[in-house]
């Protein structure tokens, strides 16, 4: 290697100092985001049709006696729901950040290659043909989302040059076919019960989350997150164009395939039980990048915590601002769409 | 050092590179010249291992580079694209650090020592003061310098450059070419660079290879040839030109 000691300079020293301080800043920022999410989560647990006071929450956490009804609401309804909301926010934001990186497109969302539409189709099939019990819907949605992504990947392999745009086009093709099938199912569905269920599923909700559902999807979620974590450096390299990434020694096709599989596991495990949650995978990574001013796995993790926090706020509003619950995607859309407009109008597009 | 033998390559049905052979040696900067469509970029992609050839082979000390996997090949051959493809905010030091990728395990991230090496590469191109800056805020010339630093960190014995001056102004073009030449000499690398402007090749390169319609038209060391030879060769490629001699250097005008 080169001799590095002979050519030291003031610039390097000042860089080392700034590196050390920015390392500390990074750690603090991550910690603050994490604590903020926890605080919001604890407050959120108490809010809803049945109010749980902060004192009761403290007592439960400390293992003291509380009213049995309060205990039941806490463990049976709120805790699984709040954890699922955090998981959904974290997972969808992380997948969004990863997709925006590897597709080199700041507007890429977790459903860019068809996972959401596929899951939607799976759910609709379960509602119309498989009696539509919640667990059946979840499994069918998971299968639908995964099949859609594999179909898109297989389709993109048919093209000769295998560019990333082919993958996006393949995603559009698969999504369109799934949309068509969904419309067909809706047309033949019983308008009283089935059609409504299909529509509600596509609006997303955390109202029916139980401990059982949470534990059922958790392994897939964790597996996907671990895979993404392990590939964090290569994900970074995939943000370059294919030739550049390959010349740096990354087998682009294989790594991108694995990254997509991992992100799909995360997204499919979430939407299979929550239904579609709009925009969160778009806004959280953008805010993350705006704050950190870079785009690496640190930013992805930071965005994930922001996404968890935002979704907690949205879900708390969803169950408290009116007498009946509002579907979550209505709220995230009303937050997300104006935010997108704001991004559009910003003069310097540094995100 | 790198022996390119009888390469034929195509995009789709059309033959773009037709039976080209040459060698490049360490400590030398070789220019690959030719008009648009002569096959420069295609040839460069084939010999970097980024594109499969129809026939022929590239041997690096008797090892076929197309038999190597991406990671192994990246330790021997680096490739600097015409233009950076960074789309998001990234610190300069992190752009340079990407060059260490061929030496990382599949699940690793760079170590502190590797960060120091990246910084040392920035020192070589004189960009160390910008280490913590946002890459996207640099000038075009500075960005290309950072990419040179990244290729230095990659530390491959063969360095390819695809028209690194194509987006640069006059001063920056000369700056980046002289930096590339200095690096090739100081680090004893084998360098190959595609260029549009033959004057750049005459100024900075040891050897010139000229492509015409996908075939190799000429291949010579500048030190070995004189005015008459250069005039004859370049008129065949660029038609209506004059070659001037000044201070033992040659300038092509049109």
C-alpha–C-alpha distance, residues A40 and A82, integer Å: 10
- Candidate from B70, B79, B154 with C-beta closest to A251: B70
Q: In this complex, is the C-beta atom of A162 within 8 Å of any C-beta atom belonging to chain B?
A: no
Mean pLDDT of A8-19: 62
A residues 284-343 lying closer than 8 A (beta carbon) to B: 289, 293-297
CB atoms within 10 A of CB A10: 9
Q: In this complex, is the C-beta atom of A1 within 8 Å of any C-beta atom belonging to chain B?
A: yes
Report the alpha-carbon angle A213-A215-A216, nearest 5. Answer: 60
Of A84-98, A121-135, A180-194, B154-168, give the lowest mean pLDDT range: A121-135
Q: In this complex, is the C-beta atom of A17 within 8 Å of any C-beta atom belonging to chain B?
A: no
**CB A280, CB A86: distance < 8 Å:** no
**CB B66, CB B52: distance < 8 Å:** yes
Could you say which DSSP state residue B222 is in? Answer: G
Name the pLDDT band for A7 (thresholds 50, 70, 90).
very low
**CB A194, CB A127: distance < 8 Å:** yes
C-alpha–C-alpha distance, residues B211 and B7, integer Å: 13
Name the pLDDT band for A11 (thresholds 50, 70, 90).
low
Helix (H) or strand (E) holding B150: helix B140-154
Asked if pLDDT for residue A350 goes beyond 80, the answer is no
Residue A351 to chain B, least CA–CA distance (Å): 6
- Taking only the tens place, the pLDDT of each residue in A209-252 is 989 889 989 999 999 999 999 999 999 999 998 899 999 999 99
- Residues A247, B78: C-beta atoms closer than 8 Å: yes
| Integer angstrom CA distances of residue A88 from A103, A275, A331, B3 | 22, 11, 15, 54
In the three-class reduction of DSSP (H, G, I as helix; E, B as strand; rest coil), residue B14 is classed as strand
Q: In this complex, is the C-beta atom of A193 within 8 Å of any C-beta atom belonging to chain B?
A: no
Q: In this complex, is the C-beta atom of B36 within 8 Å of any C-beta atom belonging to chain A?
A: no
Q: What is the pLDDT, as a whole number, of residue A208?
A: 86
Question: Which chain A residues are closer than 8 Å to B123 by Cβ?
Answer: 4, 7-9, 11-12
- Residues B123, A12: C-beta atoms closer than 8 Å: yes
The chain A residue lying nearest B118, using CA atoms, is A4
Could you say which DSSP state residue A73 is in? Answer: I
| Integer angstrom CA distances of residue A112 from A116, A144, A226, A271 | 8, 15, 21, 14
- Candidate from A19, A233, A350 with C-beta closest to B89: A350
Pairing of strands B158-162, B77-80: parallel
In the three-class reduction of DSSP (H, G, I as helix; E, B as strand; rest coil), residue A60 is classed as helix
Q: Could you tell me the strand order of the sheet in which B55-60 lies?
A: B14-24, B2-11, B55-60, B63-64
Q: What percent of chain B has pLDDT over 70?
A: 100
Domain ranges of chain A: 39-345
Q: In this complex, is the C-beta atom of A134 within 8 Å of any C-beta atom belonging to chain B?
A: no
Four-residue CA torsion sign, B107, B113, B115, B120: negative
- Residues A243, B90: C-beta atoms closer than 8 Å: no
- Residues A351, B119: C-beta atoms closer than 8 Å: no
Q: Nearest CA to A249 among B251, B202, B72, B246? A: B72
- Candidate from A240, A247, A251 with C-beta closest to B69: A251
> Tokens standing for A198?
């299909």
The chain A residue lying nearest B81, using CA atoms, is A244
End-to-end CA distance of chain A: 36
- Taking only the tens place, the pLDDT of each residue in B181-201 is 999 999 999 999 999 899 999
Asked if pLDDT for residue A349 goes beyond 70, the answer is no
C-alpha–C-alpha distance, residues A91 and A262, integer Å: 11
A and B: number of Cβ contacts within 8 A: 128
Phi-psi label, residue A325: left if phi above 0, alpha if psi -120 to 50, beta otherwise? beta
Name the pLDDT band for A4 (thresholds 50, 70, 90).
very low
In the three-class reduction of DSSP (H, G, I as helix; E, B as strand; rest coil), residue B158 is classed as strand
- Residues B81, A233: C-beta atoms closer than 8 Å: no
- Taking only the tens place, the pLDDT of each residue in B85-124 is 898 999 999 999 999 999 999 899 999 999 999 999 999 9
> Tokens standing for A225?
């997150």
Mean pLDDT of B32-60: 92
Residue B207 to chain A, least CA–CA distance (Å): 24
Asked if pLDDT for residue A77 goes beyond 60, the answer is yes
- Taking only the tens place, the pLDDT of each residue in B5-44 is 999 999 878 889 999 999 999 999 999 999 988 899 999 9
Asked if pLDDT for residue A162 goes beyond 80, the answer is no
Q: In this complex, is the C-beta atom of B203 within 8 Å of any C-beta atom belonging to chain A?
A: no
- Candidate from B75, B104, B128 with C-beta closest to A9: B128
Q: Nearest CA to B44 among B17, B13, B11? A: B17
C-alpha–C-alpha distance, residues A14 and B184, integer Å: 29
Q: What is the pLDDT, as a whole number, of residue A14?
A: 67
Name the pLDDT band for A159 (thresholds 50, 70, 90).
confident
- Residues A12, B81: C-beta atoms closer than 8 Å: no
- Candidate from A2, A11, A250 with C-beta closest to B128: A11
- Residues in Cβ contact with B197 at an 8 Å cutoff, skipping those fewer than 6 apart: B165, B173
Q: In this complex, is the C-beta atom of B50 within 8 Å of any C-beta atom belonging to chain A?
A: yes
Q: In this complex, is the C-beta atom of B25 within 8 Å of any C-beta atom belonging to chain A?
A: no
C-alpha–C-alpha distance, residues B68 and B119, integer Å: 29
Q: Give the CA-trace dihedral at A143, A148, A149, A154, to 10 degrees.
A: 120
Q: Which residue has the tokens 């960060």?
A: B115
> Tokens standing for B246?
């000044």
Q: What percent of chain A has pLDDT over 70?
A: 92
Q: What is the pLDDT, as a whole number, of residue A299?
A: 96
Give helix then strand counts, H and E, for chain B. Answer: 8, 12
Q: In this complex, is the C-beta atom of A159 within 8 Å of any C-beta atom belonging to chain B?
A: no
CATH number of A39-345: 1.10.3470.10
- Residues A248, B102: C-beta atoms closer than 8 Å: yes
Q: Nearest CA to B93 among A176, A12, A79? A: A12
**CB A114, CB A167: distance < 8 Å:** no
The chain A residue lying nearest B98, using CA atoms, is A237
Give helix then strand counts, H and E, for chain A. Answer: 15, 0
- Residues B134, A293: C-beta atoms closer than 8 Å: yes
Mean pLDDT of B64-71: 94
Residue A325 to chain B, least CA–CA distance (Å): 38
C-alpha–C-alpha distance, residues B126 and B178, integer Å: 13
B residues 51-70 lying closer than 8 A (beta carbon) to A: 69-70
- Residues B106, A236: C-beta atoms closer than 8 Å: no
C-alpha–C-alpha distance, residues A305 and A50, integer Å: 27
Beta strands in chain A (DSSP E): none
Of A35-39, A344-348, B55-59, give the lowest mean pLDDT range: A344-348
The chain B residue lying nearest A17, using CA atoms, is B132
**CB B15, CB B53: distance < 8 Å:** no
B residues 112-131 lying closer than 8 A (beta carbon) to A: 115-117, 119-121, 123-124, 128-129, 131
- Residues B85, A244: C-beta atoms closer than 8 Å: yes
């Amino acid at each position: 290697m080169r001799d590095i000691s002979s050519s030291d300079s003031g610039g390097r020293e000042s860089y080392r100092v700034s590196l050390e301080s920015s390392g500390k800043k990074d750690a603090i920022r991550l910690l603050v985001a994490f604590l903020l999410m926890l605080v919001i989560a604890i407050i959120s647990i108490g809010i809803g049709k049945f109010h749980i006071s902060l004192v009761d929450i403290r007592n439960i956490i400390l293992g003291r006696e509380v009213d049995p009804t309060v205990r039941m609401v806490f463990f049976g309804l709120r805790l699984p729901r709040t954890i699922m909301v955090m998981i959904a926010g974290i997972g969808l934001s992380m997948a969004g950040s990863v997709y925006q990186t590897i597709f080199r497109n700041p507007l890429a969302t977790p459903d860019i290659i068809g996972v959401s539409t596929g899951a939607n189709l799976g759910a609709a099939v379960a509602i119309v043909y498989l009696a539509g019990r919640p667990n059946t819907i979840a499994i069918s949605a998971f299968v639908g989302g995964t099949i859609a992504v594999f179909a898109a990947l297989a389709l993109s392999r048919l093209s000769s040059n295998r560019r990333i745009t082919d993958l996006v086009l393949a995603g559009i093709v698969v999504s369109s076919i799934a949309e068509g099938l969904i419309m067909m199912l809706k047309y033949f569905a019983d308008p009283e019960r089935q059609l409504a269920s299909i529509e509600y599923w596509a609006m997303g909700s955390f109202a029916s989350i139980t401990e059982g559902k949470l534990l059922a999807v958790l392994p897939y979620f964790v597996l996907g997150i671990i895979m993404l974590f392990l590939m964090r450096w290569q994900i970074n390299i995939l943000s370059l164009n294919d030739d550049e990434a390959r010349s740096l020694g990354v087998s682009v096709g294989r790594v991108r395939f694995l990254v997509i599989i991992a992100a799909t596991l995360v997204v499919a495990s979430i939407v299979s039980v929550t239904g579609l949650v709009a925009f969160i995978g778009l806004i959280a990574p953008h805010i993350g990048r705006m704050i950190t001013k870079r785009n690496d796995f640190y930013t992805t993790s930071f965005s994930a915590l922001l996404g968890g926090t935002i979704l907690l706020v949205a879900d708390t509003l969803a169950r408290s601002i009116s007498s009946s619950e509002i579907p979550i995607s209505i709220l995230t859309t009303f937050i997300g769409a104006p935010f997108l407009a704001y991004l559009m109008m910003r003069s310097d597009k540094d995100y | 050092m790198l022996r390119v033998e009888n390469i034929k390559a195509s995009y789709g049905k059309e033959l773009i590179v037709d039976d080209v052979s040459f060698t490049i040696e360490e400590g030398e900067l070789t220019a690959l010249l030719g008009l648009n469509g002569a096959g420069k970029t295609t040839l460069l992609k084939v010999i970097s291992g980024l594109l499969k050839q129809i026939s022929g082979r590239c041997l690096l000390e008797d090892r076929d580079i197309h038999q190597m996997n991406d990671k192994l090949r990246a330790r021997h051959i680096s490739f600097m694209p015409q233009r950076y493809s960074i789309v998001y905010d990234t610190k300069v030091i992190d752009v340079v650090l990407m060059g260490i990728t061929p030496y990382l395990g599949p699940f690793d991230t760079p170590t502190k020592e590797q960060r120091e090496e990246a910084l040392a590469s920035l020192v070589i191109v004189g960009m160390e003061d910008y280490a913590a800056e946002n890459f996207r805020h640099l000038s075009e010339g500075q960005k290309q310098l950072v990419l040179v630093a990244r290729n230095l960190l990659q530390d491959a014995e063969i360095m390819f450059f695809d028209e690194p001056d194509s987006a640069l102004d006059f001063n920056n073009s000369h700056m980046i070419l002289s930096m590339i030449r200095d690096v090739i000499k100081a680090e004893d690398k084998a360098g190959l660079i595609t260029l549009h402007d033959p004057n750049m090749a005459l100024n900075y390169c040891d050897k010139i290879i000229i492509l015409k319609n996908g075939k190799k038209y000429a291949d010579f060391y500048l030190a070995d040839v004189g005015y008459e030879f250069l005039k004859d060769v370049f008129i065949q490629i660029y038609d209506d030109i004059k070659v001037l001699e000044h201070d033992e250097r040659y300038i092509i005008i049109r």
